[in-house]
Homo-oligomer: A and B are copies of this chain.
Amino acid sequence: MSEILKLNSPAVFIGKQGQDGVISFGSGQPDLPPPPEAFAGINLKRDLRYGLIQGEVALREALSHEYPGSTAENFVITNGASEALDLIFRSWGKGGKVLLPRPYYYSYPPIIEMAGMVPVYTDMIEGRIDLEDFKKKVKECKAVLINSPSNPTGRVESIETLKEIERITQELGIYVVSDEVYKDLIYERENYHIKGDHVITVNSFSKTYCMCGVRVGYLWSSDKTVVENVCEEKTHTSMNTNLVGQDMALHAMKAPKEYIKKQQLIWRERRDFIYQGLLSLGFELWRPEGAFYVLPKCHNARKFLSVLFQDYKVIAYLGEWFGAPDRLRFSYALDVKQIEEGLNRIRDAMKKVSVL
């Protein structure tokens, strides 16, 4: 039997996800290539002096067509969605509570805490926000951070829930930060963007256009003060976002709608395959409605993860990193053949550890 790995964070698997024979359900990023449009016509010999802190005008204008009633002034282009989140919370200064549905994306608590704010948790029911608990706890908070479709639950909030959150927070004058990086990876319905002058939307080109390593994200806000404060900070902390990356993002947006639809079909097939596979192995789990994660219950999760990796070369992430102890997160950004092989190995590993 394997020794239990030191499982503090996903960092334990760094550099191991691409190794020979390893099947990784770990890192949350598309395995598919970007659209060809992302490369076509990019001129590296462009003016490479400092760009605008807020981001290139052409990119912000292109984005404004995706956000009705917006102009380029409503956007700030950032080094991925991560930097957008970091700058937003830092701009509010020290103190104040932030309501966070749990399970959460693992960077949320450190980002909030590094900004000197305090996360307050509301536990989800079946992977979705519990509105009753949300309403109770939101009153003491300065802001709320939501993420639908969700990493790590794979769930999508109902339009009714999103509208109710819009309404309550507007009434209380509380900011909602809506991390919508999986907005185009949604299988059940059209996405619903929450709106309002107290809403700050965070988004990215990483998942939709399969370009995580290019690190181009953005925030949208109709509140001029939010945009100005974020730009003022970014002037000191990183200046403009990489100009070549911004060009690639702008070009990627020229990909036909078909590109996104085709991706959705691929993701849906994988979703069905892993969901059915884990169900038939006896796991209890929520059916993913968006993004590319499943979060099954799993007893002895740490021990199982060690065995999976050391004896079967399978990588998964611990639910506890996402505030979900006794669960595992599997990313299904793998082709169906690999998912199948991974499920076979999981079946074998289940003979060594009691997980159900």
The residues of A with any CB-CB pair to B shorter than 8 Å are: 11, 14-15, 27, 29-31, 33-34, 38-39, 42, 44-45, 47-53, 79-80, 82-83, 86, 90, 94, 107, 110-111, 114, 116, 210-215, 232-233, 235-245, 248
Q: Which of B51, B53, B80, B111 contacts A239 (CB 8 A)?
A: B80
Whether B51 contacts A213 by the Cβ 8 Å rule is: yes
Whether A237 contacts B11 by the Cβ 8 Å rule is: no
Q: Which 6 residue pairs across A and B have the least CB separation, nearest first?
A: A242-B242, A107-B236, A213-B243, A79-B238, A86-B237, A48-B213
Q: Which of B30, B79, B248 contacts A79 (CB 8 A)?
A: B79
Given contacts A51-B213, A215-B242, 8 further A-B contacts (CB under 8 A): A14-B52, A27-B49, A42-B44, A48-B214, A82-B238, A86-B237, A90-B114, A107-B236
Whether B244 contacts A48 by the Cβ 8 Å rule is: no
Q: List 12 A-B contacts (CB under 8 A).
A: A11-B232, A31-B49, A33-B45, A82-B238, A82-B239, A110-B233, A110-B236, A111-B236, A212-B239, A214-B244, A215-B243, A238-B238
Which B residue's beta carbon lies closest to that of A114? B90
Contact A45/B39 with A114-B236, A214-B243, A233-B114 known, Cβ cut-off 8 Å: yes
Contact A215/B237 with A14-B52, A27-B50, A44-B39 known, Cβ cut-off 8 Å: no
Query: Residues of B contacting A52 with CB < 8 Å?
Result: 14-15
The complex places the Cα of A242 from the Cα of B110 at a distance, in Å, of 22
The complex places the Cα of A110 from the Cα of B90 at a distance, in Å, of 12
Work out how many copies of this chain go into the complex.
Answer: 2
The complex places the Cα of A142 from the Cα of B33 at a distance, in Å, of 47
Query: Residues of B contacting A210 with CB < 8 Å?
Result: 48-49
Q: Which of B15, B50, B215 contacts A213 (CB 8 A)?
A: B50
CB distance from A82 to the nearest CB of B (A): 5
Contact A11/B82 with A48-B212, A90-B114 known, Cβ cut-off 8 Å: no
Whether B82 contacts A44 by the Cβ 8 Å rule is: no
The complex places the Cα of A107 from the Cα of B232 at a distance, in Å, of 10
Which B residue's beta carbon lies closest to that of A40? B44
Whether B79 contacts A235 by the Cβ 8 Å rule is: no
The complex places the Cα of A48 from the Cα of B31 at a distance, in Å, of 10
The complex places the Cα of A212 from the Cα of B48 at a distance, in Å, of 6
Whether A242 contacts B244 by the Cβ 8 Å rule is: yes
Query: Residues of B contacting A80 with CB < 8 Å?
Result: 238-239
Whether B245 contacts A242 by the Cβ 8 Å rule is: yes
Contact A212/B49 with A116-B116, A245-B244 known, Cβ cut-off 8 Å: yes
Whether B237 contacts A213 by the Cβ 8 Å rule is: no
The complex places the Cα of A50 from the Cα of B86 at a distance, in Å, of 19
The complex places the Cα of A243 from the Cα of B238 at a distance, in Å, of 16
Query: Residues of B contacting A248 with CB < 8 Å?
Result: 44, 244
Query: Residues of B contacting A242 with CB < 8 Å?
Result: 79, 213-215, 242, 244-245
CB distance from A63 to the nearest CB of B (A): 19
Which B residue's beta carbon lies closest to that of A36? B45
Which B residue's beta carbon lies closest to that of A53? B14
Query: Residues of B contacting A30 with CB < 8 Å?
Result: 49
Q: Which of B31, B82, B235 contacts A107 (CB 8 A)?
A: B235
Whether A237 contacts B83 by the Cβ 8 Å rule is: yes
The complex places the Cα of A212 from the Cα of B238 at a distance, in Å, of 11
Query: Residues of B contacting A27 with CB < 8 Å?
Result: 49-50
Whether A11 contacts B235 by the Cβ 8 Å rule is: yes
Query: Residues of B contacting A53 with CB < 8 Å?
Result: 14
